Structures are given as structure tokens and as C-alpha cells.
Amino acid sequence: MCQKAVSPLATDAITLLWMSVAAEAGWQVIRTTEAYASSDGEGRLLIGVDEVLDADDAPAQLIFHELCHALTQGPSSWSLPDWGLSNADPRDVVAEHACLCVHVLLSSPFGLRAAMAPTTEYRAYHDALKEDDIAVSLEPAPARARAALALPGNAKLRAGLIRGLAATRAALDETLASSPSDSGHPVGFAWGPAAQSCGSCAWFYRGGRGPAVGRCRQSAQGEGDGLRTDPAARACARWEAPVDCQACGACCREAYHSVTVSVRDPVVWKQPDLVVRHGHRFEIRREGPRCAALDDRRAAPVPSLPLFSCGIYDDRPRPCRDFEANGRHCLVARRRVGLSP
């Protein structure tokens, strides 16, 4: 059986910190054997004692989650048990998703997104969220999260959460700073920005043989897995923000010399002028070392427009659709054009 990694937030100091954040916002935290994480509607947050919690959970993380629910549901919910929500009712899925959008928007600037993430069945939704999408999406959950963060009645709670996250980041950085520094980062690189973490890096991923664990793509050799790393660990010198494809374009530039497509790929008949045949192979036409469909605006940049875009994005072939941003091949492409170390 694989033993879960202990949360870096599971310390007495950080637990007391988040109990004080809750108290300042008007809630008393009660540790109990009768609940995992809930609210009673009477000013108390019920958080399981250590023996009740999973190893990869921490009281701080659960308090943060409950307070994000309080913020998302708004002041009218604060007198209702569990903020008026029921895990058994599918109508509350949007509310759960909105809460996680709030999670991401608040925790990401402090490099705490991974450390504060839920470990419930909603983890997959949380991990798939992109901050830029939350900021503009018209889907119900992101729109609800933005409205909750802007609600005047939530201002005190929002400010308290931000102070708590800043203090948590400082506590984790102090712990790292007090560790022996001559050995460098756990994956072997020099230390990077103190305000960032492995979990906020473009090259952090969960995978490997056996149960998926946090790993660093920058440390991978060839086709092998990257070395294990804690998402809450301070960033190394190779830290990079998640890749913005329209500011990068490496995969469509000189990084690769061809895109082979199947004769059955719709691009063959939808964009015939961009498809060339070499015997039995079909490829997307190149203009010099780059894809002919690439629109490169670097020569005359316009602030409101992306630097790189695809002229046939809606019709792009299967290999392009399957190319994973922040994946193994993405890193290779960026290295080949000099964007990543």
C-alpha cells in the first residue's frame, strides 16, 4: 500500500495561524472526532482531529476550504449548517466548483495552490482550472467566484484569507531558509524565487510508475520520470509560470520540423492549401523552419493581440490538438528555441 505524503501545512504553527484567521472572521474552530470538515451555522467550524484526517490533509487546508465556501456562498449562508450545501445534492456541484475557483484565485499568487488543494473527488476539477480562464469565463462557477470576491459583504473575510495565505507562505519560506542550504533544492538545482513553489511551476506534474506523485519535469532525463518533489517546496532556479501558448509558439516554430497528419484528418480537406503529400505521408506545409499556419506578430507587436496564433486553430490536425501545454514535449520545444533552460 502506498503511504500518502504528509501535508507541509500539518504543523502546529500553521494550524494555529489558520485558527486565528477563522477567529478574526468570526468563527471558532473546534477539533472533533465527529466530523471531517463542516460548519454548524452557529459560528463554529468543525475540523477533524489529526486521527480523523488523511495524512495528506491538514487543519489549515480544511479551514481555508470552509472559509472559501463561506465567501462563495456569501453572508446570507453564514447562519446555515454547511453554508446551506449538501454533498448529496447534485444542484450544489456549481457551488463546489465556484468555491474551488476562489481557492485558485486566492492561493495561486502565494504559490500555495497545490498545498491548499482539496483531496476530495473535486481535486480533478481544481487541478484542471486555469487562472486566466477563471478571470474571463462566463461559465456559472467562475462567474460566481468572481462575484463572490467582489461582494462588499465579503471584504473583511477576503482580506483575512489573503493575510493568512501571506503568513503561511512566509512560514514555509522560513522553514526552508533554516534548512541546510549547501545541498540546494531537493531536485538538485539552485534555489529559486522565495515567493514561488514547485506546485506553481509549469514543470510540476503528478505521475510516474505506480501511484501518481508530485514530480519535476525539468529534472527528467530522456524519456524517464522527473524526480519527486513536494508541491509546497520553495521553487528552484528553473521555476517558470505555466506556459502561455500565445506568448510562446515554440512547438509551431523551429522546435519541430514537421507535423504529420493522417489522410483521414479533417484538416486534409478543410485546409488543402496547407497540406502537402510526400508519398504516403501527409504533412502541414512549412514556411522555412516554421508551420505555414503560424501567425507571428513579433515584428509589429500590438498590445491587445497575442504574439503567436494559429491561422487554422479550429481545423488544426490531431497532433496539434493532442500536444500538451506544460508537458514533456512542450518543455523540449521551449528548450530548442531557447525559452526554457
Instruction: Work out whether strand 28-32 and strand 44-48 pair parallel, antiparallel, or are unpaired.
Output: parallel
pLDDT at 217: 93
Residue bearing the bigger pLDDT, 297 or 94? 94
Please return the burial class of 324, using the count of CB atoms within 10 Å of its CB with bins 0-12, 13-18 and 19+: exposed
The 10 Å Cβ neighbour count of residue 214 is 21
- Under 8 Å between Cβ of 92 and 86: yes
pLDDT above 70 for 6: no
Band of residue 80 on the pLDDT scale cut at 50, 70, 90: very high
> Would you state the torsion angle of the CA atoms of residues 250, 256, 259, 260, taken in this order, to the nearest 10 degrees?
-150
CB 163 within 8 A of CB 155: no
pLDDT computed for residue 137 by the predictor: 81
Q: What is the DSSP string of 240-273?
A: -PPP-HHHH-GGGTTT-S--EE-TTSTHHHHSGG
200: confidence class by pLDDT, cuts 50, 70, 90: very high
Do 239 and 192 meet the contact criterion of CB atoms below 8 Å apart? yes
Mean pLDDT over the full length of the chain? 86
Confidence band for 29, pLDDT divided at 50, 70 and 90: very high
Residue 156 C-alpha cell reads as: 473583511
Read off the pLDDT of each residue in 136-160 and give the average, rounded to a whole number. Answer: 92
CA-to-CA distance for 50 and 3, rounded, in angstroms? Answer: 16
**Average pLDDT of 134-158?**
91
- Chain mean position to CA 197: 11
Average pLDDT over residues 58-64: 93
Contacts 24+ apart (CB under 8 A), 286-292: 286/257, 286/258, 289/253, 289/254, 289/257, 290/252, 290/253, 290/254, 291/252, 291/253, 291/259
Integer Cα distance of 246 and 249 in angstroms:
6
Grid cell locating 10: 500539518
Q: Specify whether the backbone of 220 is left (phi greater than 0), alpha (psi in -120 to 50) or beta.
A: beta
Instruction: Give percent above pLDDT 70 in the chain.
Output: 93
Tell me what pLDDT residue 301 has: 66
Q: Is the pLDDT of residue 197 over 80?
A: yes
As a whole number of angstroms, the distance between CA 63 and CA 16 comes to 11
Q: Distance between CA atoms of 248 and 307, rounded to whole angstroms?
A: 8
Instruction: Give the pLDDT confidence score for residue 163 in this predicted structure.
Output: 93
Question: Is-contact 131 104, C-beta < 8 A?
Answer: yes
| Global confidence as pTM | 0.56
Mean pLDDT for the stretch of residues 108-128: 81
Task: Give CA–CA dist 232/173, Å, rounded.
Answer: 10
Looking at residue 4, its pLDDT comes to 47
pLDDT value at residue 319? 94
Longest CA–CA span in the chain (Å) reads 74
Which carries the bigger pLDDT value, residue 131 or residue 229?
Answer: 229
Tell whether the model's pLDDT for residue 100 goes beyond 90: yes
* Local confidence band at 1 (pLDDT 50, 70, 90 cut-offs): very low
Give the pLDDT confidence of 205-218 residue by residue, as tens digits: 998 877 788 999 99
Q: What is the pLDDT of residues 164-188, one digit of tens each?
A: 999 988 887 776 555 544 456 778 8
Q: How far apart are CA 243 and CA 328, in angstroms?
A: 12
- 3-state secondary structure at position 226: coil
Report the pLDDT value the prediction gives residue 181, as an integer from 0 to 100.
47
Contact 59, 18 (CB under 8 A): yes
Segment of 110-114, 122-126, 152-156 carrying the highest mean pLDDT: 152-156
pLDDT for 102 equals 94
Q: Which residues pair with 191 in a beta bridge?
A: 236
Residue 125 has pLDDT above 80, yes or no: yes
Give the pLDDT score at 133: 80
